[in-house]
Structure 1
């Protein structure tokens, strides 16, 4: 039986579609390579943000923690009166502030002023710098942990993988003395990968690195940040890591005031976990997304170390 020959017009259409797809792929690949070339590691991974630290140790009786993804201080109301009032209120009585999506240099701009007004200094951990992605203009983006107490140890935890093969995420582990106590408080300010590249192991690998730090510490712990735990799979991985380290969640997963993903799931993104501490004032969820001060609502809670 002779083979059925494809009409010439069909062959031309098929070839045209294939060529168009190849060209589109080539363009996208070229753009991706261009973006990769623009993403660079920061000149300095860790830097102090602000003046010298004022205190020598945290109070065991009252440790107020604030966690917040500030959207690079670029939200519509950040620089307005509403934004200023929100940040002043959040930072006013804070002992520890964990911020994500912070732009360097922190020594410039409104964030520095608001930290200084609350007498807070911090450690900034830079993830990457790029003229297009992140904070733009070659400025590094990363996380910042602020306090009035100088950390006795600080470690940057850079993700092994990159989102879409382009940008890494960074977390920051800092350790603080507690007044009249031998134990030290470990604080991990975590910003986890939001998207995988070639494998679903990217997120779990970053969590495993954080889990290893949690497991080594024998004292009290606060783990806070934007975990990008947007779906059930990611949430299960996160809960496994914190359960293994004996941590508990401050906030109810069903609280609808918590920031959730726009795409890819409907689970809460931001968390505060703790171990070896007691909650003295219930956790509070801000309303910064609704007031356009950021695209994430802040989380805050008061602890004591027994």
Structure 2
């Protein structure tokens, strides 16, 4: 298992992945589309174990500006999908199983100008969960911060959970532009859910609501969320599918 916070990057014009460590700043400046819309897909992809994960990704992710995946690996099929749709992929490995690295992965139609990986080890199983901050330029000259997170799961109390969220919240509160904070938060207890809402309120974030709310839940508590600020919510839906043990969240924002 990798011990350092690092991320892999692959883009449409590269044959091999870059390996980047720690905070990374790039000089590329490719803003998102000028049409004032920002389309997002958030999905725990269940290690790509289901046979139809790729067909769902191709159908609902092909025109997305941002795709935030959890439990993802940079398989040949996923890298090919990214390159065919000119998406830049950033992955923070969390665990390794038979030489495959799984973790959060953010696919975007723009290069990030800043990236910051996070990795938190769960206390009992010693398995890790990862998170990733990426910042992208918008055409209105603002900078969009995107946080893709897979929260720690197995822990007594909320100490480790609080530390993981808090380490990210410090970056969000220091960012002056719009923010999307999304992923699998593993909010399977009332204490975890309360803590998540407490931190997101402090960060000035609003939760995206879903009319047909078929998000994966535990004890009537949803596990997947999208929070945002500095953007206008236009549309949100949950896609029911058997391509994973989680249902994808599809959200459209207007930049201004």
- TM-score normalised to the size of structure 2? 0.87
- Determine the structure 1 residue equivalent to 2:12: 51
- Determine the structure 2 residue equivalent to 1:101: 71
Answer yes or no: is 1:188 the counterpart of 2:147: yes
- Determine the structure 2 residue equivalent to 1:72: 47
3-state secondary structure, aligned to 1:187: strand
Answer yes or no: is 1:277 the counterpart of 2:231: yes
- Determine the structure 1 residue equivalent to 2:94: 127
3-state secondary structure, aligned to 1:97: strand
Answer yes or no: is 1:146 the counterpart of 2:107: yes
CA distance in 1, matches of 2:67, 2:225: 13
CA distance in 1, matches of 2:182, 2:158: 23
CA distance in 2, matches of 1:241, 1:213: 12
CA distance in 2, matches of 1:146, 1:76: 21
Whether contact under 8 Å (1:187, 1:222) holds in the other structure is yes
Q: Which runs of 5+ in 1 are unaligned?
A: 1-39, 130-135
- Per-residue CA distance 1:236-283 (angstroms, 9 max, x = gap): 10000110011001124x85411113xxx3310001110000012x10
CA distance in 2, matches of 1:189, 1:98: 6
Whether contact under 8 Å (1:70, 1:294) holds in the other structure is yes
| 1:200 positional shift | 3.0
- Per-residue CA distance 1:62-100 (angstroms, 9 max, x = gap): 11011000001012433xxxx51x211211210011000
CA distance in 2, matches of 1:41, 1:119: 28
CA distance in 1, matches of 2:62, 2:158: 40
Q: 244, 247, 271: which is aligned to 2:205?
A: 247
- Per-residue CA distance 1:15-53 (angstroms, 9 max, x = gap): xxxxxxxxxxxxxxxxxxxxxxxxx21678211134249
Change (3 A) 1:177 1:52: farther
3-state secondary structure, aligned to 1:234: helix
Answer yes or no: is 1:228 the counterpart of 2:186: yes
- Determine the structure 1 residue equivalent to 2:128: 168
* Residues matched between the structures, number: 242
The structure number with the bigger radius of gyration is 1
CA distance in 2, matches of 1:75, 1:251: 27
| 1:109 positional shift | 2.5
Q: Which runs of 5+ in 2 are unaligned?
A: 15-27
Kindly report the root-mean-square deviation, in angstroms, between the aligned alpha carbons of the 2 structures. 2.1
Runs of 4 or more off by more than 6 Å in structure 1? none
CA distance in 1, matches of 2:6, 2:81: 23
Q: 209, 230, 240: which is aligned to 1:287?
A: 240
Whether contact under 8 Å (2:68, 2:106) holds in the other structure is yes
3-state secondary structure, aligned to 1:169: strand
- Determine the structure 2 residue equivalent to 1:89: 59
CA distance in 2, matches of 1:226, 1:166: 19
Q: 160, 163, 167: which is aligned to 1:209?
A: 167
- TM-score normalised to the size of structure 1? 0.74
| 1:153 positional shift | 0.2
| 1:227 positional shift | 0.6
Whether contact under 8 Å (1:163, 1:194) holds in the other structure is no
